[in-house]
Amino acid sequence: MKVPVDRRRTILIFVIADLLFAVALFLSCMQLFLFQRWGVIQILIIILYVGTSIGMLLLALLRNFYVIESKFLVQVRAFKEAYFYYNDVVYIDKEQAEKKRTLAFYTNKGHVKYLPFDRNGEIYKVMLKRCNNLIDKEEFKKRHPNVKI
């Protein structure tokens, strides 16, 4: 089952990052934009920036989703895929998931992974249901004392 990431959250993060990039771009080319008469170069830079921004936003909206399979969860981001097997997940941070709508889970090797929620929180429900090796926080701390939760 294909589940898209929350679009409002994606757009909000993209707008913030895009505005910061716009400020950095135009500050680095400030001498070009201070002239009274604009030429082809200034207009070309603006068109290139707007075109790239629209392309990246479309890429972020269309190629950012999850695929829920029976044995694993696939995260697709642009042209990369990450596979998370349910049997490898040993602890899910429920407090962070409910507070920040970000799924934070720890693997049996002690690695932490963060996944932004979809609109309805489907991946959170699926991970809670299908991860059979879940342990509580104290047991996880005993197994991995160097990992900070």
Q: How far apart are CA 12 and CA 35, in angstroms?
A: 33
| Residues in Cβ contact with 35 at an 8 Å cutoff, skipping those fewer than 6 apart | 42
pTM higher than the cut 0.85: no
The domain limits of the chain are 2-62
The pLDDT value recorded for residue 147 is: 85
Q: How many residues does this entry show for the chain?
A: 149
What's the pLDDT band for 80 if we cut at 50, 70, 90? Answer: very high
Nearest to 11 by CA among 49, 53, 52: 53
b/e code 19-52 from CB counts within 10 Å (16+ = b): eeeeeeeeeeeeeeeeeeeeeeeeeeeeeeeeee
pLDDT digits (tens, 9 = 90+) for 30-78: 888 787 788 888 889 899 999 999 999 999 999 999 999 999 999 999 8
